Structure 1
Amino acid sequence: MTKPGTAGDEYDVVISGAGLAGSAAAILLARRGVRVALLERRSDPAAYKVLCTHSLTANAHPVLDELGLLPALEKAGAVRNEARWYTRWGWIEPRAAPTGPELPHAYNIRRSVLDPLIRSRAAETPGVDLLLGHQVTGLLREDGHRGRTAGVRASTSGGEREIRARLVVGADGKDSPVAKFAGLPTRTYENGRFGYLAHFRDLPLRGGIGQTWFLEPDMAYAFPNDDGVTVLAVLPDKARLPAFREDLEGSFLDFVRALPEAPPVDAAERVSKIIGTIDYPLLSREPTAPGLALVGDAALTGDPLWGVGCGWALQSARWLAEEVAPAAAGRGDLDRSLLRYARVHRRRLRPHQYLAADFAKGRPFNPVERLVFSAAARDEAVARHMYLFASRLIGPLRFLSPAALARAAVVDIRHRGAAAPTVPTTR
């Protein structure tokens, strides 16, 4: 429930940040018998993250199901996120096998709808106290400055407040104050692209599904969302930044108009500002410390061009709840539970981030990428394999397994000598 709270409260877990990761973690922990204080620095229960791909990749589907959000998402008009990708070899268009199941999916839905929805579910969950207008200003420690984390200090409209807990969870984004207060080091990977996006209404896309353009090194995507709104983003190489700074709107629209099978942006209605960032490095931190855990972007960020952040936020929340709930409620060894969570987090996400950080350098495809992408444009089985990876349902080792690369090589050999499509330029 939502409550103002009083000084001196104690909980099993206190979570800083009531976005996707924090709200999901609160729900899943409380269902396992944990008493949770869910802190949100903003006072508006309808607050939401603005700069986002607004996409939930298919790896998030099981978590959404466990949270009981699937019917609500469908009712809110969320769009199942099918995809097609442009490459110099043509379009990659994943389709279900003729005799197989449909491709896994999750949803595209604007954060203005999604964030209040999951936050309200958290507030309604027995065992969760949603504390709006609570900005974490420091950590409580056992045995002085270097002891284990034992709670938080928070500023509120009524003054400073201390909340003690066995576990503090940072779900407060890539610039995580909790991580900074804990002194956790941050590893940074430079991103060679910048990005801008805007929302358009009545912007038709071929097949009515999401489109992504791999233009080496430039990128773009268009994702249909709820209420007939499409999120259109461009992610050019940083060499193009001076021109964008001179004329943001003109450069944005010219970039889109030059895309292969460009969406008819001039005939659509733009319903948002053009927003973005010129510097979005990939970050990673150790996901745990004594008495503390990080989930979502606080622990690790991906490159925005892949649209994986929301899915990883929900997955990490689920892994944390699965590993630490008994200990957080006082029925086990919390340090060992946190160690298990850290191992799962590193094993499941670090290999993905390693590949994303390499591609974020803003380089053309390397030989392995050329092999796989060219084969996926020519072969439905390779396209499905690539779709599973893009949906983060398989990891890099399986994606680049010897069998997968061998199939891609056979496909490319069969097509050797065929004329490749002309690659339009956005420069």
Structure 2
Amino acid sequence: MTEPQSTEQDPCDYDVVISGAGLAGCAAAILLARRGARVALLERRSDPAAYKRLCTHSLTANAYPVLDELGLVPALEEAGAVRNEARWYTRWGWIVPRAAPGGPGLPYAYNVRRSVLDPLIRSRAAATPGVELLPGHRVTALVREAGRTAGVRASTPRGEREIRARLVVGADGRESAVAAAAPVRGRSHENGRFGYLAHFRGLPLPGGLGQTWFLEPDMAYAFPNDDGVTVLAVLPDKKRLPAFRADLEGSFLAFVRALPDAPPVDSAERVSKITGTVDYPLRSRVAAAPGLALIGDAALTGDPLWGVGCGWALQSAHWLAEEAGPALAGRGGLDRSLARYARRHRRRLAGHQWLAADFARSRPFNPLERLMFSAAARDEALARHMHLFASRLIGPLRFLSPAAVARASRVNLRHRAAARAGRGTKGAA
């Protein structure tokens, strides 16, 4: 593999070096190279078919425009990715979003296993002019000059190597080596739940829809994926961890069997190990500094119960390309563009993360959540409204807007009035 040589006129080996050839890193490499940047895409693993195993395997609808720009939609459809319509169980019944009569269909993206998605997008990145994929390259340190990041040092199959670039991008996950070495602030929130998941074949779901169970405080979800495989995950309160650890398989299956309208797990074929994590804190980091940007889980690690990580990985890569691409092409200052990216990242995701961190304390619904979820189980317009929020197409302020809260209040008042009238009718009879 040819290594570009720096020149006196061009002291950088590349315009951009990206650590991590997963979903976020590959998307950023493609989008930045299309904008004229020379990109080194570093991946610590050497296997081209490597993929992330601990994942919801779901791309929320906010990611669809990025998938479309990347040109991946036809390939995902051909690979059997499942459009991710969903419904949610609550103590007030099922919330089932449906398109409005005569209106457009509900927005969607896809459920697709990372064993399919990751090699697909990595091969697209490697074939993009301007991108050089460097497998077996693990970042060990940042190169710092004059108060800014100027490159990386990496362990490679040929030994240690220094790679200089105008921009270093950390796309190396929640345990990001780039973020750990970067001069950026961060926060961590404890997660009061642990999680385990497994893949099953032959697990029918009503209407073929994904399902999420809000059991307050326990959680679970079942997402249909490509090739007839369903991802089934349980996220109990950490108080249940000792019993789960004592008999993981038995506890996992017992938890699923006890779900309301439980999927028939005993008649399905489990085609993977039961895997998971007992400690998955929510982390937020400032997404940029001079010469450096963080995307995907390196910038923000959300709660896996919401299934938003893949969507945010693609969105953050897209935001970075939009902000930094022109500067890398010589139009504007790079560090100013990175500051804009950091502000955009915070503005778009901080509210979502705050709500997720609060709910991760493994608590029951608060009064406002009870209002919105109960009304959404009774009103189709509010069910669609919740679908937009769950898909991260609207933010918390719009989800909890005065108009939405007022409608939810009216729905519940009408429900209570009808219930009282029904009881009165039965008493008279």
Do the two structures share a fold, i.e. TM-score over 0.5? yes
The equivalent position to 2:15 in structure 1, one of 12, 16, 23, is 12
DSSP 3-state at the match of 2:416: coil
Partner of 1:286: 286
Deviates most, 233-242 or 183-192: 183-192
The equivalent position to 1:133 in structure 2, one of 113, 133, 136, is 136
Map 1:40-119 onto structure 2 (within 5 A): 40-119=43-122
Partner of 2:41: 38
Map 1:24-423 onto structure 2 (within 5 A): 24-143=27-146, 147-416=147-416, 418=419
What's the % identity of the aligned pairs? Answer: 81
How many corresponding residue pairs? Answer: 414
Structure 1 residues 175-200: Cα deviation after superposition (integer angstroms, max 9, x where no partner): 11001111433200111100000000
Q: Distance in 1 between matches of 2:3 and 2:52?
A: 25
Question: Is the 8 Å Cα contact of residues 76 and 226 (structure 1) preserved in structure 2?
Answer: yes
Partner of 1:423: none
Runs of 4+ in structure 1 deviating by more than 4 angstroms, as ranges, are: 6-9
Question: Is the 8 Å Cα contact of residues 110 and 226 (structure 1) preserved in structure 2?
Answer: yes
Partner of 1:422: none
> Aligned partner of 1:149: which letter?
T
Q: Distance in 2 between matches of 1:337 and 1:183?
A: 17
Q: Distance in 1 between matches of 2:34 and 2:394?
A: 28
**Deviation, structure 1 residue 301:** 1.3
> Aligned partner of 2:125: which letter?
A
**Deviation, structure 1 residue 332:** 2.2
**Deviation, structure 1 residue 7:** 7.4
> Aligned partner of 2:140: which letter?
T
- List alignment gaps of at least 5 residues for structure 1: 420-427
Structure 1 residues 363-396: Cα deviation after superposition (integer angstroms, max 9, x where no partner): 0000000000000000000000000000000000
**Deviation, structure 1 residue 141:** 1.3
> Aligned partner of 1:223: which letter?
F
- List alignment gaps of at least 5 residues for structure 2: 7-11, 421-429
Q: Distance in 1 between matches of 2:118 and 2:302?
A: 20
The TM-score, its normalising length taken from structure 1, stands at 0.95
Structure 1 residues 75-125: Cα deviation after superposition (integer angstroms, max 9, x where no partner): 000000000000000000000000110000000000000000000000000
> Aligned partner of 2:237: which letter?
D
> Aligned partner of 1:40: which letter?
E
DSSP 3-state at the match of 1:354: helix
> Aligned partner of 2:32: which letter?
L
Q: Distance in 2 between matches of 1:119 and 1:4?
A: 19
CA RMSD of aligned residues (A): 1.2
Q: Distance in 1 between matches of 2:173 and 2:161?
A: 22
Structure 1 residues 5-32: Cα deviation after superposition (integer angstroms, max 9, x where no partner): 3676700000000000000000000000
Question: Is the 8 Å Cα contact of residues 5 and 13 (structure 2) preserved in structure 1?
Answer: no
Structure 1 residues 375-421: Cα deviation after superposition (integer angstroms, max 9, x where no partner): 000000000000000000000000000000000000000111639xx
